Amino acid sequence: MAKEDKYEKVEEDEERKTLTTNSGEPVPDNQNSKSAGPEGPLLMEDYHYLEKMAQFNREEIPERIVHAKGGGAFGTFTVTNDEISKYTMADLFSEEGKETDVFVRFSTVAGSRGSPDTVRDPRGFAVKFYTEEGNWDLVGNNTPVFFVRDPSKFSDFIHTQKELPGSGLNDPTPQWDFWSLSPESLHQITILFSDRGIPATWRHMNGYSSHTFSLYNEEGERYWVKFHFKTDQGIKNLDPEEAKRLAGENPHHHREDLYQAIEEGNYPTWTLKAQIMPEKEAEDYHINPFDLTRVWPHGDYPMMEIGTLELNENPDNFFQDVEEAAFSPAHVVPGIAHSPDKMLQGRIPSYDDAHRYRLGTNFENIPVNKPKKAEKNNYHQNGFMRADGNLGSGPNYEPNSFGGPVEDPSVKEPPLEISGDADRYEAQERIDNYKQPGDLFRKVMSEEQRQHLMDNFAEDMEPVDETIQKRQLVHFYKADPRWGRGVAERLGIDIEEAVPDELLELPDEEIAEAPVVEDLLD
Ligand code: NDP
């Protein structure tokens, strides 16, 4: 039965519950406030009216600063290949057929809570696995890379995605200014302005951990891992003009598509796969495997299938299950851990901090966020809205001799050797901002997709100041000269005026094949 069927008419004589105040007092009249005489002013003693408005005035909570607009559903993850259990002691992967309940939230990044779904933007793809060893949150996107590789640039980048601080209007200038001054963003914007930048639905896109995480097994061996959810519905994207039409017609197009598919029993599925790298290989792999702007080529690290994610249950209440859902990359389970990826390191403290601001210190007691299959046992106490027993009569400290919970050394992560001087490192070895976006343009995209990419870039850059346009054209040119020339032509700019002579003098093949073209402009 569709959840909306609850709006079906009831019989006239059907017995109904009595309307009450929050304290349970029956309400005699919900249509007429209490006034001094039929046409007179209202009386302060009309507590039911006061409570109604007080509650109404507090209905909104702070919206997420990013990923504010979204939707979600419950489902199941089932292991189809337990080969991964060689690499990790994580119980959820321990045997084929093992099922774990999940909640998944999809979102756009930049827009506010009511903004349209069909805009060009990365999509959040956040999965909460309710495992027997606690909740594991894989808080990824529908793209395998990100705009920046250092978290100190994150808030600046997000400001460029929001309305202008003065007028409150949208303008593409800040984003192109930032991107053209941050060449590490080229890979992500290539995917963003490709056909995949506007998915047809959430069901028709992949999800990626994007970050490198780690796995460890009972023998204390560590492996680096990247997770990929491959859509079983196939990749499908929206034509940009159609997307604009839909944005006006139905801002909740993607939310509605997921809801309807599940109501109809047409449950979407994704195959979870992993790329696995033994710990030591990270040291001399030709790229930094912890750089969030890079992928691990499949030829180097092939995909291993793990299981199937299926979404099969719509939330009962959107606010309680979707708005109050709180995911955090800090939430891992024994056998799965973090990595030196600087963006991941920056996200670990930041997400729970944001949830404490948005939902309060006890946000993990909200049903959708609570561990479902594991017990929460610790000595944290009190705080606003604590109502889960709050440790009862104690003990509320550790160590204690009174039977309180104790640590379990068997789940300890193996030690990680680190070295180096504490410093701020602008120049990092193994960085090349152009090779992978160039490969995507040259080797992965069809000619039609390349044309779309250049059209999409030119359309978005058209209103931007020419100095910024030219700076960005150099990045395109370095990734592939055809790409630089193609966008320049569409913008009506002579590429020779944008690109420095040292670069123009190189034959195309040399630019495309040069492993590092980073310093050609310096
Ligand atoms: P492969 O040929 O093995 O992989 C290419 C990947 O590109 C496939 O996973 C494919 O995803 C994805 N892809 C196809 N079209 C697009 C598009 N328009 N936008 C974004 N991704 C697309 O080559 P490599 O692994 O050597 O990677 C080559 C380039 O492909 C990389 O530089 C990167 O830009 C891109 N890429 C790589 C990924 C990786 O994890 N290695 C993941 C995604 C993109 P699918 O199979 O779902 O069609």
DSSP lists the bridge partners of residue 141 as 124, 208
Question: Which tokens go with 5?
Answer: 């069927």
- Reference 296, options 210, 214, 234; nearest CA is 210
pLDDT at 517: 47
Cβ of 195 closer than 6 Å to ligand 1, yes or no, is yes
CA 467, CA 474: separation in Å to the nearest integer? 11
- Reference 478, options 449, 441, 428, 425; nearest CA is 441
CA 360, CA 49: separation in Å to the nearest integer? 27
Cβ of 303 closer than 6 Å to ligand 1, yes or no, is no
Measuring from atom 20 of ligand 1, which residue has the nearest CA?
A: 191
For residue 240, give the DSSP letter.
H
Which among 285, 301, 440, 452 is the best mutation to test ligand 1's pocket, defined by most ligand atoms within 8 Å of the CB? 440
Q: Using an 8 Å Cβ cutoff, are 491 and 224 in contact? A: no
Question: Which tokens go with 219?
Answer: 């023998």
- Reference 137, options 291, 411, 365, 326; nearest CA is 326
pLDDT at 5: 61
CA 519, CA 522: separation in Å to the nearest integer? 5
Q: Quote the distance between the C-alpha of residue 445 and its chain's center.
A: 25
- Reference 445, options 486, 410, 475; nearest CA is 486
Which regions of 243-387 does DSSP assign to beta strands (E)? 269-278, 304-313, 336-337
CA 464, CA 175: separation in Å to the nearest integer? 10
DSSP lists the bridge partners of residue 402 as none
- Cα–Cα–Cα angle for 88, 92, 98, nearest 5°? 125
Measuring from atom 25 of ligand 1, which residue has the nearest CA?
A: 297
Identified catalytic residue from 48, 135, 141, 211: 141
Q: Using an 8 Å Cβ cutoff, are 478 and 501 in contact? A: no
Q: How far is the CA of 257 from the centre of ligand 1 (A)?
A: 26
Q: Using an 8 Å Cβ cutoff, are 146 and 346 in contact? A: no
The domain covering 35-369 belongs, at the CATH homologous superfamily level, to Catalase core domain (2.40.180.10)
- Reference 247, options 476, 370, 239, 499; nearest CA is 239
Cβ of 480 closer than 6 Å to ligand 1, yes or no, is no
- Reference 109, options 197, 169, 182; nearest CA is 197
Question: Which tokens go with 270?
Answer: 């994704």
The torsion region of residue 448 among left (phi > 0), alpha (psi -120 to 50) and beta comes to alpha
Question: Which tokens go with 198?
Answer: 């506007």
Per-residue pLDDT of the chain (522 residues; tens, 9 = 90+): 455 566 777 788 888 999 999 999 999 999 999 999 999 999 999 999 999 999 999 999 999 999 999 999 999 999 999 999 999 999 999 999 999 999 999 999 999 999 999 999 999 999 999 999 999 999 999 999 999 999 999 999 999 999 999 999 999 999 999 999 999 999 999 999 999 999 999 999 999 999 999 999 999 999 999 999 999 999 999 999 999 999 999 999 999 999 999 999 999 999 999 999 999 999 999 999 999 999 999 999 999 999 999 999 999 999 999 999 999 999 999 999 999 999 999 999 999 999 999 999 999 999 999 999 999 999 999 999 999 999 999 899 999 999 999 999 999 999 999 999 999 998 778 889 999 999 999 999 999 999 999 999 999 999 999 999 999 999 999 999 999 999 999 999 999 999 999 899 999 888 865 544 455 444
For residue 226, give the DSSP letter.
E
57: annotated active-site residue: no
Which among 226, 293, 295 is the best mutation to test ligand 1's pocket, defined by most ligand atoms within 8 Å of the CB? 295
Q: Using an 8 Å Cβ cutoff, are 441 and 190 in contact? A: yes
Measuring from atom 10 of ligand 1, which residue has the nearest CA?
A: 444
Q: How far is CA 109 from CA 114, 115, 125, 384, in A?
A: 12, 10, 11, 29
Structure pTM? 0.95
298: annotated active-site residue: no
Question: Which tokens go with 60?
Answer: 């909104």
Cβ of 294 closer than 6 Å to ligand 1, yes or no, is no
Q: How far is the CA of 10 from the centre of ligand 1 (A)?
A: 53
Q: Using an 8 Å Cβ cutoff, are 479 and 191 in contact? A: no
Q: How many CA atoms lie within 13 A of 331 on its CB side?
A: 23
The rounded radius of gyration (Å) of the Cα atoms in the chain is 26
Long-range pairs of 94-102 with CB within 8 A, sequence gap ≥ 24? 100/76, 100/129, 100/130, 100/131, 100/373, 101/74, 101/75, 101/76, 101/77, 101/129, 101/130, 101/372, 101/373, 102/74, 102/75, 102/76, 102/77, 102/127, 102/128, 102/129, 102/130, 102/309
Cα of first residue to Cα of last residue in the chain, in angstroms, is 64
CA 251, CA 238: separation in Å to the nearest integer? 14
Q: Domain residues of the chain, as ranges?
A: 35-369, 435-521
Identified catalytic residue from 22, 30, 57, 67: 67
Within 10 Å of residue 522's Cβ, how many Cβ atoms?
A: 4
Q: Counting atoms of ligand 1 from 1, which one is nearest the CA of 435? A: 32
